[in-house]
């Protein structure tokens, strides 16, 4: 059951709906958007009727949502819900973005990327989220030392930090470092325990997806986070890799019809540097609200081209 509160609903009316849900033996999950508050009732809904809630003060409408994506579904919240990460708002007007290094987290690489992000007017520096290696001999995870280095370099130029999290044991380190957001790569989205722990913290999370995950699996990962109470979720599409490199903008449009969460793309991971600009423009026209850019090695001409896209010139 999803209860959509009126834009004029006050806190007393919201609490009354929560109390009614909990009295029925269900758990209430509250999502506060810029215009409306949406309350999800999670559990066995037998005995709960939409009409009971619609008769309550402050309720605009109530509906049953069939399926596994109740909290993050477009049915639950028809209006897009922007997510603020530092000074950057994803899902509002304009093109929101973050820049950084997907694979190389050395001091030199991070400094180069930080300067590029700052020069392009960005506010967020990220590390991680690149393609994972199947070989155990090439596996790398962003640990405490890399996190500290990233935080130090970002602070030097006044940027917020977004860092990869694959291991739940490193969650406390991210909280202590006060990163602006957690970046979960595609490999981490099958880890339900990690997703639930991330859902219990008050910190934005970016969930990356590539062609190894279906749209349903992606939304299921977001639902795990939302069930923990954290609704500050941004979805990031990394596209296909290997021989079938690319990105299906039709899927992006379909996803936008299914969820109110902000959707961004990582074009360089999907197709590499050469065709990334064209792909970014197509993705923005298909409904993506922002970009995740690998700024390492930007030439002056390339940086200028990206600034045009980031300023909203996507045609």
Same domain, residue pair 305 and 265 = yes
> Which of 10, 35, 63 is the endpoint of a domain?
63
Same domain, residue pair 181 and 269 = yes
pLDDT at residue 308 greater than cutoff 90: no
DSSP classification of residue 4: E
CATH assignment of the domain containing 113: 3.20.20.70
Average pLDDT over residues 284-312: 82
Q: Is 70 inside any structural domain? A: no
Domain that holds residue 250: 83-311
Lowest-confidence pick of 26-40, 101-115, 285-299: 26-40
Q: Alpha-carbon distance 74 to 149, whole Å?
A: 39
Band of the pLDDT at 298, cuts 50, 70, 90? confident
Q: Is 73 inside any structural domain? A: no
Q: Is 184 inside any structural domain? A: yes
Same domain, residue pair 165 and 20 = no
Average pLDDT over residues 106-133: 90
- Predicted confidence at residue 292, as pLDDT, reads 96
Q: Sign of the CA dihedral 163, 169, 173, 176?
A: positive
> Which of 63, 96, 115 is the endpoint of a domain?
63
For residue 204, report the phi and psi dihedrals to the nearest 5 degrees: -60, 150
- Structural domain tally of the chain? 2
- Predicted confidence at residue 315, as pLDDT, reads 40
Same domain, residue pair 143 and 266 = yes
> Which of 32, 63, 94 is the endpoint of a domain?
63
DSSP classification of residue 105: -
Q: Is 231 inside any structural domain? A: yes
Helix (H, G, I), strand (E, B) or coil at 186: helix
Q: Is 269 inside any structural domain? A: yes
Same domain, residue pair 23 and 109 = no
Q: Is 135 inside any structural domain? A: yes
Same domain, residue pair 96 and 229 = yes
Same domain, residue pair 239 and 100 = yes
Nearest to 100 by CA among 118, 80, 82, 84: 118
Lowest-confidence pick of 113-117, 242-246, 290-294: 242-246
- Predicted confidence at residue 10, as pLDDT, reads 93
Average pLDDT over residues 66-83: 83
DSSP string, 223-285: HHHHHTT---EEEEEEEB-GGG-B--HHHHHHHHHHB-S-EEE-HHHHH-HHHHHHHHHHHHH
- Predicted confidence at residue 242, as pLDDT, reads 62
- Predicted confidence at residue 35, as pLDDT, reads 65
Question: What percentage of the chain reaches a pLDDT higher than 90?
Answer: 54
- Predicted confidence at residue 265, as pLDDT, reads 96
Per-residue pLDDT tens digits for 4-44: 888 899 999 999 999 999 998 888 888 776 567 888 887 77
Residue with tokens 């903008």: 249
CATH assignment of the domain containing 59: 3.30.70.1140
Q: Is 200 inside any structural domain? A: yes
What's the whole-model pTM score?
A: 0.85
- Predicted confidence at residue 135, as pLDDT, reads 64
Band of the pLDDT at 142, cuts 50, 70, 90? confident
Same domain, residue pair 31 and 105 = no
Question: What percentage of the chain reaches a pLDDT higher than 70?
Answer: 91
Helix (H, G, I), strand (E, B) or coil at 70: coil
Average pLDDT over residues 89-105: 91
Q: Alpha-carbon distance 264 to 287, whole Å?
A: 9
Band of the pLDDT at 244, cuts 50, 70, 90? low
Nearest to 84 by CA among 264, 250, 189, 204: 204
Same domain, residue pair 182 and 260 = yes
Lowest-confidence pick of 5-14, 46-55, 58-67, 128-137: 128-137
Same domain, residue pair 58 and 91 = no
Determine contact, residues 80/260, Cβ cutoff 8 Å: yes
Per-residue pLDDT tens digits for 180-219: 999 999 999 999 999 999 999 999 999 999 988 999 999 9
Same domain, residue pair 103 and 169 = yes
Contacts of 26 (CB under 8 A, 6+ apart): 1, 41, 42, 43, 44, 45, 48
Same domain, residue pair 230 and 294 = yes
Q: Is 11 inside any structural domain? A: yes
């Amino acid at each position: 059951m999803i209860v959509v509160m009126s834009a004029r609903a006050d806190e007393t009316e919201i609490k009354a709906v929560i109390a009614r849900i909990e009295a029925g033996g269900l758990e209430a999950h509250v999502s506060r958007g810029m215009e409306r508050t949406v309350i999800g009732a999670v559990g066995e809904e037998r005995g709960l009727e939409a009409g009971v809630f619609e008769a309550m003060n402050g309720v605009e409408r109530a509906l049953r949502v069939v399926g596994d994506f109740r909290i993050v579904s477009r049915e639950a919240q028809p209006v897009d819900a922007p997510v603020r990460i530092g000074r950057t708002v994803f899902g509002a007007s304009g093109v929101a973005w973050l820049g950084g290094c997907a694979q190389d987290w050395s001091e030199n690489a991070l400094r180069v990327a930080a300067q590029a992000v700052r020069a392009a007017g960005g506010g967020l520096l990220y590390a991680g989220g690149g393609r994972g290696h199947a070989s155990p001999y090439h596996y790398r995870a962003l640990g405490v030392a890399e996190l500290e280095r990233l935080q130090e370099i970002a602070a030097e130029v006044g940027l917020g930090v977004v860092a990869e999290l694959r291991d739940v044991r490193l969650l406390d380190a991210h909280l202590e470092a006060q990163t602006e957001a957690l970046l979960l790569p595609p490999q981490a989205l099958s880890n339900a325990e990690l997703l639930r722990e991330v859902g219990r913290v008050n910190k934005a999370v970016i969930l990356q997806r590539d062609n190894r995950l279906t749209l349903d699996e992606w939304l299921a990962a977001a639902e795990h986070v939302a069930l923990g109470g954290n609704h500050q979720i941004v979805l990031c599409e990394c596209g296909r890799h290997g021989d079938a490199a690319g990105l299906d903008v039709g899927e992006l449009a379909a996803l936008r019809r299914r969820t109110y969460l902000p959707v961004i793309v990582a074009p360089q991971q999907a197709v590499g540097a050469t065709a990334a600009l064209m792909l970014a423009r197509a993705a923005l026209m298909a409904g993506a609200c922002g970009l995740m850019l690998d700024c390492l090695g930007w030439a002056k001409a390339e940086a200028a081209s990206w600034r045009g896209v980031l300023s909203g010139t996507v045609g």
